[in-house]
């Protein structure tokens, strides 16, 4: 147990440190995680013997479902709408066309049986969301003609169709008697319906329920993602399609505390990608790769320079795409973790194949990430497709602008100096905006002529403060012997640059003023600005000590 925890902790820590270093390199950081796994593997420095495809497939599938969910959750439909039709065509018909072309090539060039050839084509037919997102975000690569949005939606939504074709050809190779139309219809209809229903239900509960626990909403969304994958899978539906659609529905809904969800799933998907690529590097036996390297290279070259461009050109040209956009879309067809996970699924089907499918696909993915991923910024620049006036992160729902807005509430009590005055008469700072006014059961959108009344709750919007480098917070709790108890704030001398910003009293939060009298049992939040950071420390006489 302890040995496993030491290994897991060490690997994650190394991955995080390497990821920081990899941001400065022109290669996708995901390759670094694979290389680290190979270093720990049977032919590596550490030499861990690991060949359990079963547990690898289970772990990678769980990790991939959260990557897929967050891919959907982060898809900004408003920004992506102009490219949505093209992306959907590529993620459906494009996958089928690519799988078919690669299958034909593998049959004639590598002399493989038809079913095995089409299985190889199906496994590598989809572009990898994690790889594409990684390159676009780390390189801050925004592309003209909504191409970044096109790639975002396509790479996030085509894995389910690649998986569906993989399931189909594995079943045929196993000799099962199946109805192809029924299998495909069940995969699509059950998967899509489950994704929409679970997404709708999750959004409903998130808006209506108070979970009475910190981060309860985040945990609930985590559970919804797991259910969106597992439930349709039980009934023969496509779990990856379901979890992606669920993510899209929830990500584009007006959810409370969405920023908390973004931060949480950023961490979850980050760990998931590290685990997947490290585990795949650990699983592979490098000494066995040379026998599949040449066929993998041939397939990768055909896929990159013929199959992908041909499929993209035939499908996108009638929809108004120019040669430059088709060129970038063709080159951006990175293969990644999904292809390897689907290959493991096929290997577990115990079907007889000419090549070790896992090793073959592993080599294709490494070549794709290493060559296409590294050169994507250069190819985009040569084709004059880089839009330097936009930020690609705006096409993702998880993008947070530098000038975030925060909302604060102001209760207009009896005798308040604002009562009876119109908003335009109030001495609000120029950067403040009166966004809402709550009066009894009414919710008003105020303007300058709106008169504030006693009992109103005024919601003010202002730019959020994020730079906390020189801000430290400390907590002081008063007891009956505290010399501050019974005194007003105006009577208390705090160190220069310090301020009591709020008081917790009997479960309530008070925003204090100079006339506020402190009581025993109060807990004070003290903020301090200045060059010195760290907590303020007070002795028993409430005198500052260092």
Question: Per residue of the chain (546 residues), what is the pLDDT tens digit?
Answer: 787 788 888 888 888 887 777 666 667 777 888 888 899 888 888 888 888 888 888 888 898 889 889 888 887 777 777 888 898 899 899 999 999 999 999 999 999 999 999 999 999 998 877 777 777 766 666 778 888 888 888 887 888 888 889 988 998 898 877 777 888 888 889 989 999 999 999 999 988 887 777 678 888 999 999 999 999 999 988 888 899 899 999 988 878 777 778 888 888 888 888 888 888 888 888 888 999 999 999 999 999 999 999 999 999 999 988 899 999 999 988 888 888 888 998 888 888 888 889 999 999 999 998 898 888 888 888 888 887 665 555 555 554 444 456 677 778 888 777 888 888 887 776 667 777 888 887 887 788 888 888 888 888 777 665 555 556 667 788 887 888 888 888 888 777 777 887 888 877 777 787 788 888 888 888 877 654 444 444 544 444 444
Question: Given CA atoms 20, 124, 194, 246 in this order, what sign does their dihedral have?
Answer: positive
Residue carrying structure tokens 């919007």: 461
Q: Is 508 exposed, middle or buried (CB count within 10 Å of its CB: 0-12, 13-18, 19+)?
A: exposed
Taking the C-alpha atoms of residue 538 and residue 449, their distance in angstroms, rounded to an integer, is 48
Can you name the residues that pair with 247 across neighbouring β-strands?
Answer: none
* 188: Cα within 13 Å, side-chain hemisphere: 13
Can you name the residues that pair with 462 across neighbouring β-strands?
Answer: 406
Taking the C-alpha atoms of residue 147 and residue 390, their distance in angstroms, rounded to an integer, is 12
Q: Are 68 and 247 in contact (CB under 8 A)?
A: yes
Taking the C-alpha atoms of residue 338 and residue 63, their distance in angstroms, rounded to an integer, is 10
DSSP E strands in 7-154: the ranges are none
Q: Which domains does the chain have, with CATH numbers?
A: 2-44+53-391 (1.20.1530.20), 408-463 (3.30.70.1450), 471-545 (3.30.70.1450)
Can you name the residues that pair with 442 across neighbouring β-strands?
Answer: 439
Torsion (CA) 294, 296, 298, 300 in degrees, nearest 10: -150
389 phi, psi to nearest 5 deg:
-95, 0
Residue carrying structure tokens 């908003």: 423
Q: Are 456 and 437 in contact (CB under 8 A)?
A: yes
Question: Given CA atoms 235, 236, 242, 243 in this order, what sign does their dihedral have?
Answer: positive
- Strand bridging mode 523-529 / 471-477: antiparallel
- Residue 350, sorted as left (phi over 0), alpha (psi -120 to 50) or beta, turns out to be left
Which structure tokens are listed for 156?
């996030």
Q: Are 127 and 158 in contact (CB under 8 A)?
A: yes
């Amino acid at each position: 147990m302890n040995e496993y925890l030491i290994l897991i902790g060490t690997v994650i820590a190394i991955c995080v440190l390497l990821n920081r270093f990899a941001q400065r390199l022109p290669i996708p950081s995901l390759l670094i995680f694979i290389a680290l796994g190979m270093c720990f593997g049977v032919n590596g420095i550490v030499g861990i013997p690991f060949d359990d495809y079963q547990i690898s497939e289970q772990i990678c599938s769980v990790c991939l479902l959260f990557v897929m969910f967050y891919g959907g959750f982060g898809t900004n439909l408003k920004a992506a709408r102009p490219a949505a039709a093209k992306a959907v065509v590529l993620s459906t018909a494009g996958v089928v066309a690519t799988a078919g072309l690669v299958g034909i090539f593998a049959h004639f060039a590598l002399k493989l049986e038809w079913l095995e050839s089409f299985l190889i084509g199906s496994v590598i037919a989809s572009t990898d969301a994690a790889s594409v997102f990684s390159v676009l975000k780390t390189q801050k690569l925004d592309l003209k003609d909504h191409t970044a949005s096109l790639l975002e939606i396509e790479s996030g939504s085509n894995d389910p169709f690649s998986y569906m074709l993989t399931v189909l050809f594995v079943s045929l190779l196993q000799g099962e008697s199946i109805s192809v139309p029924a299998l495909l219809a069940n995969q699509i209809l059950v998967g899509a319906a489950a994704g929409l229903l679970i997404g709708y239900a999750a959004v409903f509960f998130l808006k209506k329920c108070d979970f009475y626990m910190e981060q309860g909403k985040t945990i609930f969304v985590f559970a919804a993602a797991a259910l969106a994958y597992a439930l349709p899978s039980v009934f023969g539906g496509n779990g990856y399609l379901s979890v992606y659609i669920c993510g899209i529905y929830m990500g584009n809904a007006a959810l409370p505390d969405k920023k908390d969800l973004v931060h949480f799933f950023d961490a979850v998907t980050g760990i998931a990608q590290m685990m997947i690529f490290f585990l795949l590097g650990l699983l592979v036996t490098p000494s066995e790769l040379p026998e599949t390297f040449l066929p993998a290279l041939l397939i990768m070259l055909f896929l990159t320079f013929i199959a992908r461009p041909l499929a993209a050109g035939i499908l996108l040209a009638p929809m108004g795409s120019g040669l430059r956009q088709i060129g970038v879309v063709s080159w951006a067809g990175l293969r990644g973790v999904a292809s390897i996970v689907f290959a493991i699924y096929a290997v577990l089907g115990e079907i007889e194949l000419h090549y070790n499918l896992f090793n073959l696909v592993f080599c294709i993915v490494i070549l794709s990430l290493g060559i296409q991923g590294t050169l994507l910024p250069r190819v985009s620049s040569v084709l004059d497709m880089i839009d330097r006036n936009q930020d690609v992160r705006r096409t993702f729902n998880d993008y947070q602008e530098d000038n975030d807005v925060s909302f604060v509430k102001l209760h207009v009590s009896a005798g308040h100096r604002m009562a009876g005055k119109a908003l335009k008469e109030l001495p609000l700072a120029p950067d403040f905006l009166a966004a809402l006014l709550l009066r009894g059961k009414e919710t008003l959108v105020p303007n300058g002529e709106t008169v504030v009344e006693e009992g109103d709750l005024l919601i003010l919007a202002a730019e959020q403060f994020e730079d906390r480098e020189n801000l430290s917070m400390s907590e002081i709790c008063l007891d009956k012997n505290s010399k501050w108890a019974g005194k007003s704030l105006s009577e208390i001398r705090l160190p220069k640059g310090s301020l009591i910003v709020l008081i917790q009293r009997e479960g309530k939060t008070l925003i204090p003023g100079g006339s506020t009298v402190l009581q025993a049992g109060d807990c004070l939040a003290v903020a301090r600005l200045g060059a010195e950071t760290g907590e303020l420390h007070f002795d028993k006489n409430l005198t500052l000590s260092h």
